[in-house]
Amino acid sequence: MKYLSILVFLLALISCRSQPTSSTRKHSTVQDTQQGEDEFQAFLEGKTVKYLGKPIGNIKVTTTDGVSYELDKMKGKIILLSFWFKQCKPCMVEIPSLNELHAKYKEKGVVVLAASTDNEATVRAIMADKKIKYPTVANARAIADQLEVTVYPTNILIDQQGIIRKIYTGGSAFDATQTYLEIKPDIEVLLKK
What CATH architecture is 55-191?
3-Layer(aba) Sandwich (3.40)
The tens digit of pLDDT for each residue in 113-143 reads 999 999 999 999 999 999 999 999 999 999 9
Buried b / exposed e over 137-155, threshold 16 CB at 10 Å, is bbbbeebbeebebebbbbb
pTM to 2 decimal places: 0.77
Domain locations along the chain: 2-48, 55-191
Least confident among 2-11, 24-33, 106-115, 155-164:
2-11
Q: Cβ contacts of residue 63 below 8 Å, gap of 6+?
A: 69, 113, 135, 136, 137
The tens digit of pLDDT for each residue in 64-91 reads 999 999 999 999 999 999 999 999 999 9
